[in-house]
Chain A
Amino acid sequence: DTAVSQTPKYLVTQMGNDKSIKCEQNLGHDTMYWYKQDSKKFLKIMFSYNNKELIINETVPNRFSPKSPDKAHLNLHINSLELGDSAVYFCASSQAPGGYTFGSGTRLTVV
């Protein structure tokens, strides 16, 4: 009955590979997000979708491509992974004006 679930929890991969992270929410929220948390714990928004429509696209390399097949799902695909992509990626959802509900995070390590 997890509200926001993302998979995988851990991802270790080599530089240059392509990987995807999946996220699903069962809260009926209209808006979903991807956040990146670096080693200094800074949480930075990457993308936001509202009812499958991309509404926020921060300055993120175009190697990162989100996809929302429906309002309950928001996936993140990353091409040509680089060492600097290593971080924890959090999916979240919200229904304004409430707070965000975060997934448990995906710890990505690029070697």
Chain B
Amino acid sequence: GQSLEQPSEVTAVEGAIVQINCTYQTSGFYGLSWYQQHDGGAPTFLSYNGLDGLEETGRFSSFLSRSDSYGYLLLQELQMKDSASYFCAVRDRSGGYQKVTFGTGTKLQVIP
């Protein structure tokens, strides 16, 4: 089966940089995604890494190392509105179809 590990909570200061790590165990791995969810809201897609390396989208970057079964989400120039839960999610093959399994989420609190 699959397993994903990410920190449960992270606190960072406004304007700073924060890195949220994710390690995973799965077979038939395709890629790693990141989602943001504000309290009371729906998860929204942030990024997808299918290959090793860094993907950058504005203030957010995501990294994947397939050999280490590890990835991270990097948030720069933190803003108060970045306070949310962040989920890593692995896309893998299960029963002949691709499936996405979510981690337990990291609650990021940005403080002034």
Q: Which residues of A contact B (CB under 8 A)?
A: 35, 40-45, 48, 50, 55-56, 90, 94, 96-105
Contact = CB atoms under 8 A, between A and B. Distances in A.
Q: Is the interface of B mostly helix, strand, loop or mixed?
A: strand
Contacts, number: 59
B59 to A, nearest CB: 18
B44 A48 contact: no
Given A98-B48, A105-B42, 4 more contacts: A48-B99, A96-B98, A99-B35, A99-B45
A22 to B, nearest CB: 16
Contacts of A56: 94-95, 97, 99
Contacts of A103: 42
Given A90-B42, A97-B91, A41 B85 contact: yes
Contact of A100 (B31, B41, B45, B95): B45
Contacts of A90: 42-43
Q: Name the residue among B43, B44, B45, B48 with the largest chain A CB count within 10 angstroms.
A: B43
B47 to A, nearest CB: 8
B105 A97 contact: no
B33 interface: yes
